[in-house]
Structures are given as structure tokens and as C-alpha cells.
Structure 1
Amino acid sequence: MNTSPTVTSPALSPADHVVADQQPVFALLADPATHGITGPVRRIDTHGAVVFLAGKDVYKIKRAVRFPFMDLSTLERRHGACQRELEVNRDNAPGLYLGLVPIVAREGGLHLGGAGDIVEWAVHMRRFDEEATLDHVAARGGLDNQLIDALAQAVAAAHERAPRHREWDAPAALARVAAGIVDGLRETPDLFAPARVAALGAALAGALGRLAPLLAARARRGEVRRCHGDLHLRNIALIAGVPVLFDALEFDEALATIDLLYDLAFLLMDLGTRGEALAANRLLNAYLKARGGAPPYDGLEALPLFIALRAGIRAQVSAAALAHRTGPVLEAGRAEALSYLAFAEVALTPVPARLVAIGGLSGTGKSTLASHLAPVIGPLPGAVHLRSDVERKRLAGVGEFDRLPPQAYTMEATEEVYATLRARAAAVLASGHGVVVDAVHQRPEERAALAEVAQRAGAGFSGLWLEAPVAALAARVEARSGDASDATVEVVRHQAERAVGPLDWLRLSATGTPDEVLARAQAALGRAVHR
């Protein structure tokens, strides 16, 4: 397991700020005899803690350090931090956190638990497979759609439980974070060119100034809560097939009292910098869906800023780890730190909002194409994907994969679905974000109405019409399972009998593999899909 903290301070190593000698405690916990085991004890060091993995148990000791961002210099402070760690993690990871255990002095030696003079405290956790954290799962190529959807559900559930802070001065809090990032990056001018740091600082300040009213309004609406605060892939484990959030930020309530989308942004940034753009976009869309009802899309306007802040923080943390590295490991670390800075710069680069519509008969692969196009439409991490089949189920109050009766497909019901899609698309565009809408859109007036949404928002618009032989579409629909669409072979044939009318959308062949269709769509859209 990995417990690396996220900090917003200058790049400093723990050794520079140690205020007490804890080596005897570390030696005790590193000794297999202390735990009654014969195998080795694994030790993991971080800025603020030392973790010992012993058999089925984990013991985490807070370092006796004093940083500008974290003061664990006294036993009382470390005890308080340990207690808070239990409190902030038990709801999300109730099976992992077992309690606190004192390190005591008695009979001339140190002991784990029991009577004696308390010299230190340990957080006691149940051990799990260290290879099950999602950074390892990602490295193995295991971030499939099912896992991403489950992760979105887990994050949304954690956010729903989180205490609200409507009085929080969100703009001021984020301004402090931004200032800390800039100050921290300036500490290593040999790595981060001063001109780049200055430009990043100016871009962050400009975004914060522009977004301050929105950030304050979201706090008043309850969108600022006591969140996880350190929500990256290494702090999520796949246990019994379920994503479990652990190791929430415990040492500073201010750093964890944040906008929900700022909490999510850490994961989006982590995925994006790993080359998992498709997963990042799916996570955003699955999270918005998991929030239920009509999510507050206005927060999307702040998402590029949130992502940039998270990337800037990681640039600092990566730089902090370079102090004791040499050779190729040092160079790899420098490259990693610079890549985070570059990602922050990309996130803050203005990208115009755009609406891409994808239409065609059932079975043409509209949703597959939409999900693969979404990551490159609009600002990071890509477009909101709106799908008629999903909206129809939501309006009917049933699960996404529940089948609806025929009366759910009347003209009146369909018009309500399309009106909802247009309203949501307008809300997304109003936030300056991108949106992809996929629906049959067989009637000319449906296509025209969607194009008008983009025109009213002052956003770019592209319409793609997918087509393939009816026999091929029927075969695809018949083979489909686990999908929100209720379309049958009969539905496909009925659609094929209806006239499409004048069509000013780009016609694309839907034959071939999804990658081939995606390549055709990208070529047709051209520069519209390139940041």
C-alpha cells in the first residue's frame, strides 16, 4: 500500500524538518519479532509518515516533522493526527482502519501496545494486497469501463456523505493553494524555469479572479465539503472487487475542505498524466451521472483550474522526492516533475466550447463513437457525453439497463427526451465545456434544434451521421447485451423505413471496427477535435 501525501508547500525533504529521533520506534516496528512473524517487515517512507507492513497488519507512524504545511512536531499533535486519520477514513474504508495502538516504554525497552509510558502512536490497519491499488491496476491495463463506473459511484457516495461547508471562502482558500504552488516551484529554478513558473502563476491568478463568484456560489449551494483531499489512484484499492478510498488527508482540515470537483480533479489529473484520457473522461461522465438528477454543470467551468492546481501540486511533490536520487532515477524523476508542470499548462490553455452531435439509426455505434470522441472535445478532461437512451431511462425512473414498455417510446416521450438533452447540452456549453450528444436524430427538426443550441451559446457545432447496411445494423442490435438501448431488430427495420429528410450533417460509414469509425470521425472533424 502507498500512503504518499499531497502537499502544497516548497519542495522539502523530511530529513530537513525532523524535530525528534524516532529511530528506536522504527526499529521496533521493523523487527518481525515485534509482530510474532518470521517473514520480513516491509517499510514505506513518505514525507509525513513511516508505514510498516507486517504479515496481515499495517502500522503507520506519523513522522516528528515540522513543515510550513504540516506540524507533527509533538506527541500530542501526532496523536491528534492519528485520531483524525481514523475519523476521516472509517466511512469510506471501514474494514481497513482498526484503531490506534500506543508504542510504550516499560522494563527498559519499547513495546507495541500494553501498559507503560506512551512514547508514540501507531494507526493500525488491516493489510491488503499492495498490488491492488489503482496505480498498479492502471499499470497493468486493468482500468476497464466497469471499474471506472464503480470508482465513480464510490467517489459520489463519499461526496454525498461528506459534511457541507456553505460558509467556506472557497476563492481565498484556492488562492492560498495557488500561491503555495508558485512559491514551491520557485524553490527549484534549475528544474522549473522561472519564466514558466511566473506564467503559470499569472494564469492561475487570472483563472481564480474570473471564477471567484462561481466558486463562492458553489460553496453556498453546498458543493464545498470535507472531502478526501488526497484522491489519487495510489489511495484507492480494489478490495473484493470494490474500489475502496483510503488514506484521506487528515493533517489540515483547510486542505480537505474543498469543492467536490476539486476533489475529483486529482483523479482526473492522475489518469490524464498516465495517458488514460479515455478513462478520465469516462470517470467524469460516470461521476456526473452518479450524482443523480441534473448535476450542477456550472462547476465544469472551474474544472480546468482544478486540474491545473492538482498537477502543480504533483510537480512540487515530484520535485521534493529528487533530493536523494541519483543517475537514471534522478533523471526520470525530473522528467516526471516537468510533465506535471506541462499538464498544468495544458489544462489552463483556453479551449473553446463545442457541441458535437452524433446521429444515425440504432446499431450504428453512436454511443461507442461518442465515448471515444469525448476526451478530445473542449477543455480537459473532455466533453460531457449525453445519451438519449440513458436520459430516457432516467426520466422514466428506472435503471439504465431496465427495459421500458412501448409507451415509453411514444412521440411525446421522445420529444421530452430530446428537450432534456438540449437543455443539458445548453447548460454544459454555458459553463464553457464541451458536450457530445448521441441520439437517433432522424427528424430534420430534431437536428436543427440541436444545432440552434450551439448557435445560441456561441459555440462551435458539428453533426455526424452514421450509416451502414440495415442487415449489419440488425445483426449488431441482436448481438448487443448489457446496454441502455432497448432497440430490437424490428425497431431498426422500422427506423430504416422512415425518411431522414434533408441532411446537412457529415455522413460517415459506420462499418468496420470502432477504431476505424473513430479515425473517420476525427478526419471529418479535423481541427475541431485537436487541442
Structure 2
Amino acid sequence: MNTPPAISPPAISPPAISPADPVVADQQRVFARLADPATHGMSGPVRRIDTHGAVVFLAGKDVYKVKRAVRFPFMDLSTLERRHAACRRELEVNRDNAPGHYLGLVPIVARAGGLHLGGAGDIVEWAVHMRRFDEEATLDHVAARGGLDNQLIDALAQAVAAAHERAPRHPEWDVPGALAGVAAGVVDGLRERPELFAPARVAALEAMLGSALGRLAPLLAARAGQGEVRRCHGDLHLRNIARIAGAPVLFDALEFDEGLATIDLLYDLAFLLMDLGSRGEALAANRLLNAYLKARGAAPPYDGLAALPLFLALRAGIRAQVSAAALAHRTGAALEAGRAEALSYLAFAEVALTPVPARLLAIGGLSGTGKSTLAAHLAPAIGPLPGAVHLRSDVERKRLAGVGEFDRLPPAAYTREATEEVYATLRARAAAVLASGHGVVVDAVHQRPEERDALAAVAQQAGLGFSGLWLEAPVDALAARVEARRGDASDATVEVLKQQAEREVGKLDWIRLSAAGTPEELLARAQAALGRAVHR
């Protein structure tokens, strides 16, 4: 048994400071100047947005962002030199993901007895100058409006995967040591607020983090050598992504600490997964994970899923710290809401680290029975957060053929030999996911007994639970669904369905469910049939 390592603090820690008073300099004159419409040649109001680390001014078509003069355990912007360096780095790390959005740096100068935006004078502060977009277009607002549809989530996964592909690799990085430092910072930060975070809960979280770090250290180190550790966005949550011209744009990457942004790719993604999950967007979080894994190509990083509970917990712990730090700027109802938010993040971290057994769920049935829709809705509740990996035969067949998900394949791609290759690949991938301790849902016709038996054997060999659902409905009803299907990976036609219906299913020991009615009715029947298998 591995002995969990003690969580050590980072090698270099900023000076201690009271969590109630992280501000080290008075910037009110700067903020007042940037909030004045006359500074921007405007008559209308300037909108101000405050965060724990910056103050943002929205003035017409422009945005000016000033770093706060603060020192937290996780961020030190206490000097003008540090804030200037952070502003420069913000430009550098965001231009690839948000081209055209970041315009440059502008000094705030003292001249003729007053402060001015740009021009000659003594520099007293720096601002990052950006092109303004609709602030209601950030994905936190989109989520609040219920606008996180499948198309947007899939596009988001593609954007994150593309950013990760561009990111510089760091195979030399000491990932276990770096994450131990992050964990120590989280624990220390939570301990500084005993009136908010109960010491017993913080101690229990520290023990769980230490245990996870000890168990995962070899994997984390190996993934660096595999190219899975890169200079990432680092602060990838919904508020730092905007839908601009219909596409998700990543902005406001972490700029003040290269160590906090040089991370495992799944740790970067985990911030988004945690943000979605903590907002009750379990379906979106699960779809994002699956779409991201799919976007990574032929060899998704399934081994890294073993570390996802740790990554999610660290992200939630960091967010609990940040939420607690922001309480200094709140009063009344906003203060109480902020306290509740901080505690909810701590609860999410605890849930993420609570062991949940992996299991394999198989869904079979003829074309049109709704296998994929059901699988997507069951997946979030199977195995550790954010739910099961969803493997689909239609998608795997297209990948093996080297075509796009929605490209149609010729009949030669549906021979018995081709289908056997697809099913073998599904089983191999399912085994890899289960080996990581994660749940998996496999959705395919599975009409032959040997196909069903072989999949059940994957779970048996892993020593994990297995459930099989067989969906059935009148052929006429299925034909109508197949005929109406659009924008789907399946190539099945009504003729293919009729051919399936003529074959014998053989001995069937999976749970038989009627697929008649609405998807919601089928989901309810499946949840009732599976019972505790689909409830955390």
C-alpha cells in the first residue's frame, strides 16, 4: 500500500497576509479615473466589474482591465512591477485563443496634477486594453439562460482541444510535486477561514487529497512524458469563455503564475467540468468530457481519467478559496450568497473525492430504439464525476473508416468483418476506461449473443459491475424514427432496420425495456430498472 505523502507547501510562498485584508495599496484614484465617462470621451456610463484580482471597465467599444494591488496565498500582485508583468503576460497567453480581442497595454499616468489614460507622465498603473464584446455572451450567462445546447458544448470541446493541441509541451514538469503544492495552498487557504470552512471538513479534505496524490503520483509523472502536460489556459471556467459570432472563444487565461498554468490537459479541462457540474449542468459536463475525448482523436487519454476526481476536487477547492476571497467586496444578501457559493464548492470537492465504483452499462436494440439518447442521459450518473464515457458503435465505425462523424459510409463498411472490428474496438476502449476507474456506457445494436457475452466479459474480467439494457418497439414505430432522423452519426435506413428485424436475437439475458413513447418515458423506465446503479 502506498503511503499518502504529506502535502507540502510550494517552494516559494508569498508573504503571509490576513485573508480579510489582501489589499496592499490604494488604487481608488485610478479606478475613479477609468470609471469617469470623460476619460473615454463618452457621455454615457462606464460599467465596472470587480473580481478578486482585477477591476474591469467597459467603456463603449473598449474594455480596460486593471490588476488589483493584492496579495493572496495563490496570487501576488502587490507591486506595480508585478502588475505590469502580469498585464504583459496576459496579452501573450491570450492572443492565440482570442485573436483580435486583446489590443495592447495602456499606462495610467500622473500629469498636470491629475491621472490620465495613456500619454506622457509618471506611470502609476497599467491597464490591459481589449475589444469589447457583449458581456452577456460569456458562457456563465448563457448557462443561466439555459442556452448550453449540444451544439455549443460540442463546439466548446473542439475549441478546448484545439487550444490544447497548440499549447507548448513540458515533459520535464514535476506534476506530482506541483499538484501537492496546489493542494497545500488550497488547504492552507481554507484553513484561514475557519468561520466559513469547518476545520474538521478541511482536515478530512486534506487527508483525501493526500491519499489521492500518493496513489496517482506515478500516473501523473508518466503523463508528463507522454506530452499530456502543457502550458494551458489555467483558468478555464464558463465566465472566461464567450460566444462571439456564434463560436466559443477562450479568453482571460491565467497569466500571473506559469507554474499554475503548466498542467495536465485534463486538469485544465477539469475546471470547466467542475464549473458545469457545480451549476447543476450534469448532462453538459458529461457531454463536454465525451466530446473532448472524441476530439483528441484515435488515442484519447483514457488513463488520465483516473486522476479526474483529484483534478475536479482541486478545482473546486481553488474556487472555494476564490469565492471566499471575493467576500471582502460583498455585503448583505450578496455576502450570504457568496458564503453559500464558497461552501458549495467545498461540498463539490468532497463529492468528487468520495470513491464511486466504476461499472459498465451496455445498451442494445435495433436502429431507432433511442439507444444513443438514452445512453447520453444515463451516463452522468454512472461511475465517478462527471459520469461515464459514452462509446457509440456508429461513431467508432466512422473513426475507423477515417471519415467524419456525419459522413455516410458505403455498404462495404458494414460487412460482418467490419462490424466485428468495430465491436472489438468498443470492447478494448471500454476495458481501458474501466481500468482507469471510470464508468463506461457502450451503445450498439448488439444483436448477436456472442457480441453481448463478449461485452459482459469485459466487466467481469475487470471485476466490476455490468448491466445490459435491450430496447424494443414495434418496427413501424422504429421505421418512422429512422426516417425522420437528421444530423446523426447513424447511417441506418428503413431497409437496414427491416433487415435487422428479420434476424434472430437469440438468448437474451439483458433487461428488456419498451422503447415506445417519449425519450423521457424511456429514461424513467431505464432508471427504475437499473436502480442504484445509476444513482450516486
What CA distance in whole angstroms lies between the structure 2 residues aligned with 1:13 and 1:310? Answer: 23
Aligned-pair distance for 1:11? 12
Match of 2:226 among 214, 218, 221: 221
User: Sequence identity of aligned pairs in percent?
Assistant: 90
Amino acid at match of 1:54: A
Q: Confirm or deny: 8 A CA contact 1:10 1:183 kept in the other structure.
A: no
Runs (4 or more) in structure 1 with deviation over 4 Å come to 8-15
Number of aligned residue pairs = 524
> Bigger shift: 401-410 or 26-35?
26-35
Q: Any gaps of 5 or more consecutive residues in structure 2? A: 1-12
SS at match of 2:364: strand
> In 2, are the aligned partners of 1:10 and 1:180 still within 8 Å (CA)?
no
Q: Which residue of 2 aligns with 1:5?
A: none
Kindly report the root-mean-square deviation, in angstroms, between the aligned alpha carbons of the 2 structures.
1.6
How many angstroms apart in 1 are the aligned matches of 2:222 and 2:515? 44
Q: How far has the Cα of 1:18 moved from its partner?
A: 3.0
Task: Determine whether 1:72 maps to 2:77.
Answer: yes
The counterpart of 1:370, out of the listed 364, 375, 383, is: 375
The alpha carbon displacement at 1:101 in A equals 1.2
Can you list the C-alpha shifts for 1:401-446, whole angstroms capped at 9, x where unaligned?
0100110101111111001100100000000100000000001000
When residues 130 and 9 of structure 1 are mapped into structure 2, their CA distance, relative to the original with a 3 A threshold, is farther
Q: Which residue of 2 aligns with 1:447?
A: 452
C-alpha separation in 2, matches of 1:355 and 1:12? 49
Which residue in the other structure is 2:128 paired with? 123
Q: What one-letter code is carried by the residue in structure 2 that aligns with 1:113?
A: G
SS where residue 121 of structure 1 aligns?
A: strand
Of the structure 1 ranges 345-354 and 103-112, higher mean CA displacement relative to structure 2 is found in 103-112
Q: Name 2:192's counterpart in structure 1.
A: 187
Specify the SS of the correspondent of 2:297. coil
The separation in 2 between residues aligned to 1:370 and 1:9, in whole angstroms, is 48
User: Which position in structure 2 is the counterpart of 1:474?
Assistant: 479
Answering whether residue 493 of structure 2 is matched by residue 488 of structure 1, we say: yes
Q: Deviations over 1:315-349 (max 9, x none)?
A: 12222223354443332222222111111111111
**Matched-pair contact (CA < 8 Å) for 1:50–1:62:** yes
- Asked whether the equivalents of residues 155 and 248 of structure 2 are also in contact (C-alpha less than 8 Å), the reply is yes
Rounded Cα–Cα distance in structure 1 between residues aligned with 2:156 and 2:18: 32
Q: Give the AA of the match of 1:361.
A: L
Is residue 227 of structure 2 the alignment partner of residue 241 of structure 1? no
Structure 1 residue 71 displacement after superposition: 2.4
1:207 aligns with 2:212: yes
The 5-angstrom pairing of residues 96-111 of structure 1 reads: 96-111=101-116
Partner of 1:17, secondary structure, is coil
Match of 2:164 among 150, 154, 159: 159
1:72, CA displacement in angstroms? Answer: 2.1
- Look up the equivalent residue of 1:103 and give its one-letter code: I
Q: Note if contact 1:352-1:432 (Cα within 8 Å) is conserved in structure 2.
A: yes
Q: Closer, same or farther in 2 for the Cα pair 1:150/1:511, shift >3 Å?
A: same
Distance 1:10 1:309, change over 3 A: farther
Distance 1:204 1:497, change over 3 A: same
Could you state the TM-score of these two structures normalised by the residue count of structure 1?
0.96
Mark the CA change 1:466 to 1:42 in structure 2 (over 3 Å): closer, same or farther: same
State how far apart, in whole Å, the 1-side matches of 2:54 and 2:106 are: 15
Q: Does the CA contact (< 8 Å) of 1:134 and 1:234 recur in 2? A: yes
Residues 324-403 of structure 1: pairs in structure 2 closer than 5 A: 324-403=329-408
Per-residue CA distance 1:231-269 (angstroms, 9 max, x = gap): 000000010101000000100001111110011101101
Question: Which residue in the other structure is 1:147 paired with?
Answer: 152
Q: Please state how far the C-alpha of 1:78 moved relative to its aligned partner.
A: 1.6
- Given that residues 378 and 433 in structure 1 are in contact (C-alpha distance below 8 angstroms), is that contact kept between their aligned partners in structure 2? yes
CA distance in 2, matches of 1:305, 1:202: 12
| 1:5-49 deviation line (CA, Å, top 9, x unaligned) | xxx999988882333332222222111111111110111122221
Secondary structure of 1:486's match? coil
2:139 corresponds to 1:134: yes
**Whole-Å separation in 2 of the counterparts to 1:370 and 1:304:** 22
Matched, 1:303 2:308: yes
Question: What amino acid does structure 2 have at the position aligned with 1:257?
Answer: T
Cα deviations across residues 348-404 of structure 1 (Å, max 9, x unaligned)?
Answer: 111111000000000000000000000011100000000000000001111100100
Corresponding residue number in structure 2 for 1:513: 518
Please say if residues 151 and 243 of structure 1, whose CA atoms lie closer than 8 Å, have aligned partners that are also in contact.
Answer: yes
Consecutive unaligned residues in structure 1, runs of 5 or more = 1-7
SS at match of 1:206: helix
